[in-house]
Amino acid sequence: MQKPVTLAQFGCGYWGPNLLRNFSALPDCRVKYVVEHSAERRAFVVANYPQTIPLDVMETVLADPEVDAVVIATPASTHFDLTKTVLDSGKHVMVEKPMAMTLTDADELTELAAARRRVLMVGHTFLYNDAVAYLRDLVASGDLGQIYYLYAQRLNLGVIRSDVNAMWNLAPHDISIINYILNDQPVSVSATGKAYIQHGIEDVVFMNASFASGVHASVHVSWLDPNKIRQLTVVGSRKMVVYDDIANDKITIYDKGIDRHTQAHPFDDPQPARLVHRSGDISLPQIDFKEPMRTEAKHFLDCVRTGQAPRSDGANGRDVVAVLEAGTRSLASGGAVVKIDGLRSARP
């Protein structure tokens, strides 16, 4: 059995219980503390996780040498300050998305983790999703041909936040997936949105991102929609793919496209290429699907033990923040195209 990792978790509200359940279920992990301001949520911890000590302040955690790492599942606006405090205390951190609310803060956290030689991992859960991994491999294999464009939809009549808009709440998932499967990052973004329920907090956002390769990606997010949709469509020159996160068959591959047929013509009678629709087989690959959060939790523990960089490390998280920050500037300017600041020159 591997050396157990002792954790503390900050926050046990909307998303926190899922993290607590997964980390508590791992045999090589001990969740010693949960820090939560709400007495009701602390009572939840007592009733369901008697081996875990609920606290209402974090100082005990920071001073406890037994605690190897902290998982942060608090409101987005608190992520930077809490992550910085934990890293400064010498502990590893897994922080939920987005890792910070500005690119400057995201870069500071990444640099601090490197200076302290601590693991910094961002909770981009879909990077640990078996269907997303399959899609990434499919794109990399070239079987889809040249990637033309992608579009994602993350819609629901769901929880309406007051601290961040729908873009900051929902789009990190799709941005992280798109960057991951393309192994690339966009160079510019434009975004438009509307706030209907609360002033200044967009309930629906339409984002367009452009890549230096010529690939175009669109992201539509809303917590004010009648249908629950979690889809990403990838259109290539040879084949097209739909990833549907809430379907039983999560990946559907369509052998569809437009083929160009050229024919020899006399020099004085040039003719354009003949465009022919192709509609072939539809494939539903079998994927050994495991709960992504369990895979994510195991990965974090492995990184804490070995010191290896997580798949969703600080650099990965700051790339997503860079897109969101540019999207915020675009929203404020009525949808103008905004160049993304601080692009990394190379990706792993």
- Which tens digits make up the pLDDT trace of 144-162? 999 999 999 999 998 899 9
Taking residues 211-236, what's their average pLDDT?
Answer: 97
225 and 298 within one domain: no
300 and 228 within one domain: no
- pLDDT for res 265: 59
| Residues 58, 31: Cα–Cα separation, whole Å | 14
Instruction: Give the rounded percent of residues in the chain with a pLDDT score beyond 90.
Output: 88
- Which tens digits make up the pLDDT trace of 303-338? 999 999 999 999 999 999 999 999 999 999 999 999
Q: Which of 318, 316, 306 lies closest to 68 in space, CA to CA? A: 306
Pair 218, 207: CB distance under 8 Å: yes
Backbone dihedral region for residue 19 (phi beyond 0: left; psi -120 to 50: alpha; all else: beta):
alpha
β 188-194/92-96 pair status: unpaired
111 and 131 within one domain: no
Q: Which of 21, 15, 18 lies closest to 158 in space, CA to CA? A: 15
Residue 27 lies in a domain: yes
Taking residues 210-220, what's their average pLDDT?
Answer: 97
Q: pLDDT class for 126, splitting at 50, 70, 90?
A: very high
Q: pLDDT class for 346, splitting at 50, 70, 90?
A: very low
- pLDDT for res 269: 58
Instruction: Using CA atoms of 245, 174, 95, 188 in order, give the dihedral in degrees to the nearest 10.
Output: 170
138 and 99 within one domain: no
Residue 238 lies in a domain: yes
Residue 55 has pLDDT above 80, yes or no: yes
Q: pLDDT class for 271, splitting at 50, 70, 90?
A: low
Residue 347 lies in a domain: no
Residue 346 lies in a domain: no
110 and 152 within one domain: no
Q: pLDDT class for 100, splitting at 50, 70, 90?
A: very high
Residue 271 lies in a domain: yes
Pair 95, 122: CB distance under 8 Å: yes
Backbone dihedral region for residue 79 (phi beyond 0: left; psi -120 to 50: alpha; all else: beta):
alpha
Residue 66 lies in a domain: yes
Which amino acid, one-letter code, is at 315? A
Taking residues 253-267, what's their average pLDDT?
Answer: 72
Q: Which domain holds residue 23?
A: 5-124+292-314
Tokens of 266: 């006399």
Pair 152, 216: CB distance under 8 Å: no
How many C-alpha atoms does 51 have within 13 Å on its Cβ side? 11
- pLDDT for res 263: 60
CATH number of the domain where residue 154 is located: 3.30.360.10
- pLDDT for res 245: 97
Number of domains in the chain: 2
pTM over 0.85: yes
- pLDDT for res 276: 74
Q: Cα Rg for the chain, rounded, in angstroms? A: 22
| Residues 208, 186: Cα–Cα separation, whole Å | 10
| Residues 301, 7: Cα–Cα separation, whole Å | 9
Residue 135 lies in a domain: yes
- Which tens digits make up the pLDDT trace of 45-54? 999 999 999 9
304 and 284 within one domain: no
Distances (CA, A) of 66 to 4, 5, 10, 119: 11, 9, 16, 16
Q: pLDDT class for 343, splitting at 50, 70, 90?
A: confident
Backbone dihedral region for residue 108 (phi beyond 0: left; psi -120 to 50: alpha; all else: beta):
alpha
Cβ partners under 8 Å of residue 257, min gap 6: 145, 236, 237, 238, 239, 240, 277, 278
Residue 228 lies in a domain: yes
173 and 100 within one domain: no
Residue 235 has pLDDT above 70, yes or no: yes
277 and 159 within one domain: yes
Taking residues 93-105, what's their average pLDDT?
Answer: 97
31 and 176 within one domain: no
151 and 255 within one domain: yes
24 phi, psi to nearest 5 deg:
-65, -25
Count of helix runs (H) and strand runs (E) in the chain: 9, 15
More confident: 245 or 272? 245
CATH number of the domain where residue 69 is located: 3.40.50.720
- pLDDT for res 268: 58
222 and 93 within one domain: no
- Provide the mean pLDDT of the chain: 94
| Residues 314, 325: Cα–Cα separation, whole Å | 16
164 and 72 within one domain: no
